[in-house]
């Protein structure tokens, strides 16, 4: 939620938030909300994936001990995964959403204002398609990730994806953990701008995050006089997500908590028929996830299925010897309930490579 505690901002100047923004906090156009109540209520991250076409998304278990490369032509970032993760793939070319075994969640959302700039080979290069995976592989908390991107001048490299229309992947990243901590990272003018704190619990798309925080102060409930907005625009979804997450009652049990965050995410979802390939930030909602970072359960709901499926992290083997495993959602759209045991060994998907010149 947005609270009165000030937001720590790294790499930019942010107008102080004087209004109380309560408990809230998606590659593509989307909405992301992190919510936590009082006492023993779980920390939850809800996310809608909005896009203009089918992304052929599947669920994957990715183990520890995998060597990866940022795919830059020169001075590429290299690492070996410290933590295993469960991710949702996009075009089988990268992770768009996921949680690692330390219960760090990551959500990639479309941001047209992202600027990666021309390649600077003095900076370690990381393809945007691997940005989320790098975080899930290496960090146990939001604080660790923020510290890394504050002290390391990584250059995220652009890439292009899509079927019916090729689109540059212009993204920003939201991170959350089981403590309720949250951060948003955007690349503007080629440099990372980091918004760290409870005010970063909601994220949609354009404009940049500092302008979203300023704009919400114009609305009733956040210090302003304008009524709650209702369009598909990202700034309007930002306000509604913040408003309805703040209004959630304290849940009586984890089931009620999941129902609550799903009610908010469905409220800010986009119906079929409004998708526009030229404006992917207002596309239709094709799937959503909820990550219970307290209980270690990851939920997935496709807009083409009446069913919700989920995975229990405490029943998964993330060891290197367990290997990569896949749950095929494209071919199995009638799955329902607990699918923890449904993953099968599979070759890892090949990450998308950066655009030429990088």
Whole-number pLDDT of residue 12: 34
- What is the set of domains in the chain, with CATH numbers? 8-345 (3.60.60.10)
Whole-number pLDDT of residue 89: 97
| 30 counts as catalytic | yes
Whole-number pLDDT of residue 22: 28
Residue 220 makes CB contacts below 8 A (sequence gap 6+) with: 226, 227, 228
Q: What does the alpha-carbon distance between residue 187 and residue 173 come to, in Å, rounded to a whole number? A: 9
Q: Are strands 125-127 and 167-168 parallel, antiparallel or unpaired?
A: unpaired
Whole-number pLDDT of residue 280: 60
Whole-number pLDDT of residue 38: 82
253 is written with which tokens?
């049990």
Q: Which residue has the tokens 């003095």?
A: 122
Whole-number pLDDT of residue 21: 29
Give exposure, 178-215, as e/b (b: 16+ Cβ within 10 Å).
bebbbbbbbbbeeebbbbbbbbbbbbbbbbbbbebbeb
Element (H, E) at 143: helix 142-151
Which residue among 7, 12, 30, 127 is the active-site one? 30
Q: What is the pTM of this model?
A: 0.90
DSSP 283-331: -EEEEEEEEETTTTEEEEEETT-S-EEEEEGGG---SGGG--EEE-SSS
Are 313 and 67 in contact by the 8 Å Cβ rule? The answer is no
pLDDT one-digit tens code per residue, 114-161: 999 999 999 999 999 999 999 999 999 999 999 999 999 999 999 998
Whole-number pLDDT of residue 167: 75
272 is written with which tokens?
């079929």
Q: What does the alpha-carbon distance between residue 67 and residue 214 come to, in Å, rounded to a whole number? A: 41
Residue ranges of the chain with per-residue pLDDT less than 70: 1-28, 165, 274-282
């Amino acid at each position: 939620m947005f609270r009165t505690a000030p937001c720590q901002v790294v790499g930019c100047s942010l107008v102080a938030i004087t209004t109380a923004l309560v408990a809230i906090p998606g590659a593509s156009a989307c909405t992301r909300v992190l919510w936590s109540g009082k006492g023993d209520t779980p920390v939850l991250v809800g996310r809608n994936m909005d896009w203009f076409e089918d992304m052929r998304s599947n669920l994957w278990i990715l183990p520890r001990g995998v060597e990866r490369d940022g795919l830059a032509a020169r001075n590429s970032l290299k690492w070996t995964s410290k933590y295993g993760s469960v991710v949702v793939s996009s075009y089988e070319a990268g992770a768009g959403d996921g949680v690692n075994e330390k219960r760090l969640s990551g959500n990639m959302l479309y941001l047209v204002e992202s600027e990666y700039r021309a390649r600077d080979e003095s900076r370690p290069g990381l393809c945007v398609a691997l940005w989320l995976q790098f975080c899930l592989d290496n960090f146990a908390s939001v604080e660790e990730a923020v510290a890394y991107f504050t002290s390391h001048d990584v250059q995220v490299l652009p890439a292009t994806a899509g079927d019916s229309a090729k689109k540059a992947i212009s993204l920003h990243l939201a991170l959350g953990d089981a403590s309720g901590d949250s951060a948003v990272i955007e690349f503007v003018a080629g440099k990372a701008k980091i918004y760290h704190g409870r005010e970063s619990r909601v994220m949609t798309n354009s404009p940049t995050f500092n302008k979203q925080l300023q704009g919400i102060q114009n609305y009733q409930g956040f210090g302003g006089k304008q009524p709650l907005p209702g369009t598909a625009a990202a700034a309007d979804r930002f306000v509604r997500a913040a408003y309805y997450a703040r209004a959630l009652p304290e849940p009586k049990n984890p089931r009620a908590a999941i129902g609550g965050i799903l009610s908010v995410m469905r409220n800010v979802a986009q119906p079929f028929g409004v998708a526009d390939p030229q404006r992917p930030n207002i596309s239709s909602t094709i799937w959503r996830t909820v990550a219970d970072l307290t209980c270690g359960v990851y939920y997935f709901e496709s807009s083409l299925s009446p069913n919700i499926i989920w995975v229990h992290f405490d029943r998964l083997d993330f060891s290197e010897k367990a290997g990569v495993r896949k749950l095929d959602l494209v071919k199995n759209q009638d799955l329902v309930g607990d699918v923890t045991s449904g993953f099968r060994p599979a070759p890892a998907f090949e990450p998308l490579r950066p655009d030429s010149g990088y």
